Amino acid sequence: MGSEPVYVVPTGRTRSRTTGTQLTRVVIEHVSPAVDGGLFPAKTSVGDVVPIEADVFTDGHDLPAARVLIHHEDADFADVPMVPLGNDHWRCEVAIEERGTYRFRVEGWIDSWATWRSDLEMRLSAGQDVALDLKEGAGLVGGGARRARAAGATDDAEALKRAATRLQRPGPDAATLAVSAELDALMTAHPDRRRGAAASEEFELLAARERARHGAWYELFPRSASPDPKRHGTLRDVAALVPDIAELGFDVLYLPPIHPIGRTSRKGANNTTTAGPEDPGSPWAIGSEGGGHTAIHPDLGTFDDLEHLLAELKRQDMELALDLAFQCSPDHPWVKEHPEWFLHRADDTIRFAENPPKKYEDIYPFDFETKDREGLWGALRDVVLFWVEKGVPIFRVDNPHTKPFSFWEWLLADVKRDHPDVLFLSEAFTRPRVMERLAKIGFDQSYTYFTWRRSSDELTEYLAELTQPPVRDFLRPNLWPNTPDILTDQLQEGGPPAFRLRYLLAATLGANYGIFGPAFEHMEHAPREPGSEEYLDSEKYQRRFRNVAATGMRELIARVNLIRREHPALQHDRTLRFHPVENDRMLAYSKTLPDGSDPVVVIVNLDPEQPRSGWVDLRMPQLGMAWDAPFVARDLLTGEAFAWSGARNFVELHPGHQPGHVLAIEAGSPAP
């Protein structure tokens, strides 16, 4: 920063430290990414490219310059020049190559060289005498020579010294030298950052491992994994299914709670309040005489079986996600050992969970404001650490919005301090600000309302919100077309085309997506009752056996997951862009890699019942091409190739044939 050190004003304004009557000149505002003004770190991941932007300006006619100083953990600062985008807005891009914390600040100063050069060009254009201006420029160039020498750039220093001499005694070619690109490059490489210098406050980027940014999740209930309808499924049975799930192209296997299930007030089939002797109960009613949150249901197997499952997943390059449900059945050991950890009614009985009019008599919620908060919070943290030490790298967290923000902020930070690669998915279908707060305080991914967004306008507005600033800087969406709790009326009524449509949307709109696998593969669509989103014979309350191989969806699932791997543009959310279609029952969008390569365009028929057609107006510059450029659009689902030219092209889609096109864009004319 030269001889003028810079300090940061806590309000976010910037000032240079001055003496006497020296004035502050440069202003830095609206730095991004800055979540809540820097209160929380912005999220990124390995392999991402993060744009850093700010407004940088000064008074008068002087020209400012700006840069970003950024460093990873204890490494030295890197200097990244910012470029002006117009209207005093500046930008640079930073490639994220390592997991961990990056810290950055924006610095700005008056660019005396650029100001002088711009003024000189205007005077030359007006035909004015510039002899004195060139001598002034000689002083600036001489300063550049001294800075280059101090930096050890001897060759640059000599070149600048020669240029200063030529400008000091202007000859016929001095003006040409003064505005040459070569001299400008040398002076830009050795700037004088002293005049009017200012810096923003420091901001954080928290970079997670790559799996936080993209992945395909497959959920199943282990108790339904048995090949024998008469036998309870086990973790060994799940391990036997892993190669098949991996062949479909999934990255994460997610299991609902695998702990012992209570018997008191156990729910029966279809969520009835009376359970028969063979009803297994809800896995979310955790705890029995067999143990609690750190035990495995005896019918599922042992910790050796879990180790076998983890080894099989590793062989298939997959990871395990376990459900983290912080609640207890009335039979959980903690109910007797720590009754003070639970909510009590006026008669001193423990209150069961309710979400009026729904009642969950088989579940006791914790009292997170208990007087023994330290004991309860510590025990729950230890549950997470227990499974981490067993080799579990990912947790899907059940209903985090019903627990205090401060609890999660503490727990996630405490776990990640020693285990930074552990990931947490927030299952919080609640108000947007609450979902966002959970993401800000540390959850790596979040369920979304994609499940219920159907129209072109709804999908465009919602996905644009999730993938553009400010939300994209702290929330990573994970899109699910179904869950064990959610069977939308579109899937109930739309038949196979609806399943294919919702799957294609989830897997191509979202870098992270998941399915409740067996039910989705078999396209199960019967609700428990009219108007309900609960499945008939839901696996939440009973074991299921499927003796017929799934058909219809498997080929599409495997193909799309392969496309996601072969075209890493689909592994990013930041580059999602929508393109106009002259049919409101169709949707067109694209993704690229952060550098603009690997363009993929997806065009979908949102109507699972009728063929739809329309003119698609591709925003060609977003695909790296001129507006009128010819190109080949190759359908990665069918292998068909379309010779298109320019932005406007006609598309027709039949839901009975395929839900949409997934097009690799190949610039240039097709081969004859």
Q: What is the set of active-site residues?
A: 398, 427
Nearest CA to 245 among 235, 236, 254?
A: 254
3 state DSSP class of 488: coil
Distance CA 466, CA 74 (A): 32
| Amino acid of residue 236 | R
User: Which amino acid is present at 47?
Assistant: G
Q: How far apart are CA 281 and CA 161, in angstroms?
A: 83
Closest-CA residue to 204 (of 94, 109, 108): 94
Handedness of CA 625, 627, 629, 630 (dihedral sign): positive
Q: Is 596 left (phi over 0), alpha (psi -120 to 50) or beta?
A: left
Distance CA 123, CA 103 (A): 43
CA–CA gap between residue 484 and residue 482 (Å, rounded): 7
The answer to whether 468 and 504 have CB atoms below 8 angstroms apart is no
Please report how many Cα atoms fall inside a 13 Å half-sphere around the Cα of residue 312, on the Cβ side. Answer: 19
Look at residues 177, 181, 171, 167 and name the one whose alpha carbon lies nearest to residue 139. Answer: 167
- From the list 538, 547, 546, 545, the residue with the least C-alpha distance to 281 is 538
**Closest to 514 measured CA to CA, from 420, 396, 662:** 396
CA end-to-end distance (rounded Å), the chain: 59
DSSP state of 342: B
Compute how many other C-beta atoms are within 10 angstroms of the C-beta atom of residue 22.
11
Q: How far apart are CA 402 and CA 642, in angstroms?
A: 51
Helix (H, G, I), strand (E, B) or coil at 600: strand
Dist. CA 447–CA 437, nearest whole Å: 13
How far is Cα 668 from Cα 672, in angstroms, rounded to an integer?
Answer: 12
Q: How far apart are CA 281 and CA 301, in angstroms?
A: 17
Please enumerate in sequence order all residues whose Cβ is within 8 A of that of 373, keeping only pairs 6 or more positions apart, or say none: none
CB-based burial, 537-564: b 16+ in 10 Å, e otherwise: ebbbbbbbeeeeebeebeebbebbbebb
Amino acid letter, residue 598: D
CA distance 475 to 236: 35
Establish how many alpha carbons lie within 13 A of residue 183's alpha carbon, considering only the half-sphere containing its beta carbon. Answer: 23
Hey, what amino acid is at 348? D
SS3 158: helix
Q: How far is CA 496 from CA 517, 523, 554, in A?
A: 15, 7, 12
Q: How far is CA 208 from the centre of its chain?
A: 10
**Would you state the structure tokens that stand for residue 79, as one six-digit string?**
């200097």
Element (H, E) at 213: helix 210-213
Cα–Cα dist 653/519, whole Å: 26
